[in-house]
Chain A
């Protein structure tokens, strides 16, 4: 199937109201059309999906296999086993040592990159165009015939354990893990950190069992973006057609907590408090998702957003506050993140609540709404043009959520259709302060008193 995605970026409106006596910024020329590249989508007989999309000006090509072998496929007491499996894939194939693989990919101008997220394990590289077909062959060998050597397991477990220690010393990671644990209690992706004992217990047999259960053609989508020749598709068909089909499995359901909670994690001596506050919100497939995204961007998701203007540019409480909508499986949550000076922890949370209340109580003015919609339109262009991998991530996200590819064609018009009243309604419907999950990582001896008034749910 071929999808042609092409659209015109909506004319951006003029920005801010300016004071009398000042020069007005030039509006610029008429907008140029954004032609989204044509994707070529096909499946192999064994069920592996493939998407090819031409991109860019330089002779490079990104080739990434997205395998349904992410953290959500780990069992109980198997946190980060998917990472260990991913790392072991780098340790050579049945016919090549890991050093041979590393040198071969370096000769192609890339390196083998394998990363594991909640949703998937992604294996691939960004290589020179002249080596695209060769890399496809190597990638197939790595995925289909890995050595998974027992001899490397102890070293890789030590690496995981070191990484765990580092992440557990970072306030952002600590806060995120605690926040998700509270928001999605007892659900596979909410467990961010394994225990030391879990890591210590992993055996090569566990890795092989995980590999056998999850690495297979029907659980894999290969994405290619960049410059490539007509030989690439046949190379893919040849390299991957012998892979066993395996069995696809559904994404497990998620359910976000709706009970108000405040948890405080002590970090003695910390000069800042790290705040995560949020709740479950409409999933990507919901008709509310795009209006909610516009609302989020206006509230805390852009530099000009209200919470950033308030916490940073008015009060100087923090450097990089941001609110975002993030996915958990097929669900979504909203979170406001801020690292604030310890002494203003309470006031910062109060300001976030006040901005939420303000948006719930009155619709935003028209020029603020149009500015935010233009911003989102521009960001959409960037997401589709900034790099080969950004383009792949965009397509991968749409496919993972089961959205139709026409999502891209209609995105801009749907963003531009959102009204001020809808923005207010989204805030009223979903940003309910009395249902919020709040996590604060900071020096308890200095922030406890400031947090007294947030220990019980606020009224609405």
Chain B
């Protein structure tokens, strides 16, 4: 088995979606409360296995990292594993693994998360350790130099030495967005990563890693009263901080189609990605886009699969979704719906896009029929169950923390279904017209570099 990794992008998430239909009885238990210091706490029991997930989400994503320090939020995430008052380097990791657990962290658009999946009886151990590093980051210059090396290697592995490295997840937001917060290189310029200073690490910690900027979810087999008492015991005395206001993240309305192209030294076949700006989160149109995502690109029954793979044979698969670094629920700001595919050199970008236009045109021209809508609601419900159980409940913790941090309402997890079911064929058609317009679109192509020309 692979060791757990500190990753920028955890690949755990398939596209998440809607909960149980009226005829199904599955509901997520949710207990929500706040400590006096502002820490948001969500408890959700699941006794189907003797394991427990502890997930701590801080409302600091890469969007709002310092402008001269691209990649800093992610570098900082690595530093959270380097030492705290009572746990020296490697001791946090050893504590979790030697108790039969796994752990990881990741940095996303609007949060950085840390989690442990442990045997159920080790909940207290995890809470103690997470509280210890929320209270006190104790890292050295050597730790920083070491993790600058590790993060540099992470970028080389996932971007610089990989065919289609960073395509489209890292690059598309840089072309499709205008606001720096949404449009910068969030993995980080290697020079910025190398220039980071130890005092910047400490001040970033003081600014953002405070209880009133965090949500803690416990999911699994535990006793709620005991868990409550443990959370109070370990987190209750951590002082709150002054969190800076979130800067203006808004994107101007896009009025003109954009095109971008990148040469790829490792790729052997061309590729194309296309993105549309999403409707604002939690609006009726946003839920309509959740259904459109299913309709267009999730599963072999989807319209783009049927057109681009089956009928035209341009590609073997279409990858698509809302939020390339997560799902349609775990972000809080401007977002893209993105699709991408690899094709052969004898197929042009124009051919691919004209097929896409034809498919999208159908959605815009007339409302879909009820059977098709029902099929896609079923797909949403099924994939929502997957999200809830993903990785022994970590998927559930992710939704609960996101809803607590961004909406102050984790119980939303049980009412999302109503929002999807309220979407009508007419609203889907209107949303397709308003948001799947070419002038709301960015097209990014990958062009294989001529081999032997340069390295």
Residues of A within 8 A of B (CB): 9, 12-16, 18-19, 22-34, 56-60, 90, 98-99, 102-103, 105-112, 126-128, 154-155, 158-159, 162-163, 165-166, 168-171, 267-272, 274, 301-305, 308-309, 312-320, 322, 324, 339-341, 370-372, 374-375, 377-379, 381-383, 385-387, 443
**Set A18, A107, A128, A379: member contacting B100, Cβ < 8 A:** A379
Contact A31 B119 (CB under 8 A): yes
Chain B residues positioned under 8 Å from A168 (CB to CB):
268
- Let me know if A381 and B300 touch, CB within 8 A: no
| Contacting residue for A166 out of B50, B117, B148, B268, CB 8 A | B268
What chain A residues lie within 8 Å of B31 (beta carbons)?
none
- Give complex CA distance A168, B251 in Å: 39
A-B contact pairs, 29 of them (CB 8 A): A12-B100, A15-B99, A25-B128, A29-B123, A58-B389, A99-B306, A102-B301, A106-B375, A107-B378, A109-B383, A126-B382, A128-B382, A162-B343, A301-B1, A303-B3, A303-B97, A313-B89, A313-B146, A316-B148, A322-B2, A324-B1, A374-B98, A378-B97, A378-B100, A378-B101, A378-B118, A379-B100, A379-B102, A385-B49
Point out the residues of chain A lying under 8 angstroms from B184, CB to CB.
none
Q: Report chain A residues within 8 Å CB of B343.
A: 162
* A341 x B156 contact (CB < 8 A): yes
Given A26-B125, A30-B121, answer yes or no on A312-B379 (Cβ-Cβ < 8 Å): no
Closest chain-B Cβ to A410's Cβ sits at a distance in Å of 18
Query: Is A382's CB under 8 angstroms from B102's CB?
Result: yes
* Contact in complex: A23, B49 (CB < 8 Å): no
Which B residues form the contact surface with A (CB < 8 A)?
1-5, 24, 26, 46, 48-51, 85-91, 93-95, 97-103, 117-125, 128-129, 132, 145-154, 156-157, 160-164, 221, 265-269, 299-301, 305-306, 310, 313, 315-316, 342-344, 374-376, 378-379, 381-383, 385-386, 388-392, 454-455
Q: How far is the CB of A328 from chain B (nearest CB, A)?
A: 18
B90 partner residues in chain A, CB cutoff 8 A: 304, 309, 313
Among A90, A267, A319, A377, contact of B5 (Cβ-Cβ < 8 Å): A319
Give the CA-CA distance A169 to B101 in the complex, in Å: 35
CB distance from A238 to the nearest CB of B (A): 25
In the complex, the chain B residue whose C-beta lies closest to that of A129 is: B24
A28 touches B156 (CB 8 A): no
Taking A28-B123, A32-B119 as given, write out 12 further A-B residue pairs in contact, using a Cβ cutoff of 8 Å, ordered by the A residue number. A9-B100, A27-B125, A106-B301, A166-B164, A268-B455, A269-B455, A302-B97, A303-B5, A304-B98, A379-B1, A385-B49, A385-B50
Q: Are A314 and B382 in contact (CB under 8 A)?
A: no
By the criterion CB–CB under 8 Å, are B100 and A162 in contact? no
The total of interchain contacts (Cβ-Cβ below 8 angstroms) comes to 274
Nearest A residue to B387 by beta-carbon distance?
Answer: A58
Nearest CB in chain B: distance from A52 CB, A: 17
Residues of A within 8 A of B89 (CB): 313
CB distance from B79 to the nearest CB of A (A): 12
Chain A residue, CB-CB nearest to B451? A268
Is B121's CB under 8 angstroms from A28's CB? yes
**In the complex, chain A residues whose CB is within 8 Å of the CB of B122:** 12, 28
Question: B157 to A163, Cβ gap below 8 A?
Answer: no
Contacts of A23 in B (CB 8 A): 85-86, 128, 132
Known A-B contacts A16-B91, A271-B156, A271-B160; A381 and B51 likewise in contact (beta carbons under 8 Å): yes
The 7 closest A-B pairs by CB, nearest first: A378-B100, A316-B149, A269-B455, A109-B382, A371-B98, A159-B316, A385-B49
- Residues of A near B161 (CB, < 8 A) are 171, 267, 270-272, 274, 339
A99 touches B301 (CB 8 A): yes
Could you tell me if A162 and B342 are in contact, using CB atoms closer than 8 angstroms? yes
Q: Are B119 and A9 in contact (CB under 8 A)?
A: yes
Of listed A59, A126, A154, A274, residue having the most chain B CB within 10 A: A59
CB distance from B250 to the nearest CB of A (A): 34
Known interface pairs A165-B269, A166-B342; A57-B86 also in contact (CB < 8 Å):
no
Q: How far is the CB of A56 from chain B (nearest CB, A)?
A: 6
Cα A59 to Cα B153 in complex, Å, equals 42
Question: Do A12 and B98 touch (CB < 8 A)?
Answer: yes
Distance between Cα atoms of A301 and B4 in the complex (Å): 10
A219 to chain B, nearest CB (A): 25
Give chain A nearest CB distance to B440 CB in angstroms.
28
Q: Which residues of B contact A16 (CB under 8 A)?
A: 91, 94-95, 98
Task: With CB as the reference atom, state the residue of chain A lying closest to B100.
Answer: A378
- Residues of A contacting B26 in the complex (Cβ-Cβ under 8 angstroms): 57-59
CB distance from A144 to the nearest CB of B (A): 20
Nearest-neighbour CB distance to chain B for A366, whole angstroms, equals 12
B105, chain A: closest CB distance, angstroms: 12
Q: What separation, in Å, do the CA atoms of A12 and B123 have in the docked complex?
A: 13
Q: What chain A residues lie within 8 Å of B382 (beta carbons)?
A: 60, 109-110, 126-128
- CB <8 Å contact, B46 and A57: yes
Alpha-carbon separation in the docked complex, A375 to B146 (Å): 25
B82: min CB distance to chain A, Å:
9
Taking a contact as CB atoms under 8 Å apart, the answer to whether B385 and A59 are in contact is yes
With the chains together, A457 CA to B306 CA distance in Å?
54
Task: Please tell me if the beta carbons of A31 and B121 are within 8 angstroms of each other in the complex.
Answer: yes
Residues of B within 8 A of A57 (CB): 26, 46, 48, 389
Contacts known (A57-B389, A303-B3, A339-B161); A109 close to B378, Cβ less than 8 A: yes
CB distance from A278 to the nearest CB of B (A): 15
Nearest CB in chain B: distance from A438 CB, A: 19
B315 → chain A closest CB, angstroms: 7
B149 contacts A315, CB within 8 Å?
Answer: yes
* CB nearest to B379 among chain A residues: A106
Contact residues in A for B124 (Cβ distance below 8 Å): 26-29
CB < 8 Å neighbour of A128 from B125, B128, B381, B392: B381
Collect the chain B residues with CB atoms within 8 Å of residue A126's CB: 382, 386
Count chain B CB atoms within 10 A of each CB in A9, A56, A302 and give the residue with the most: A302
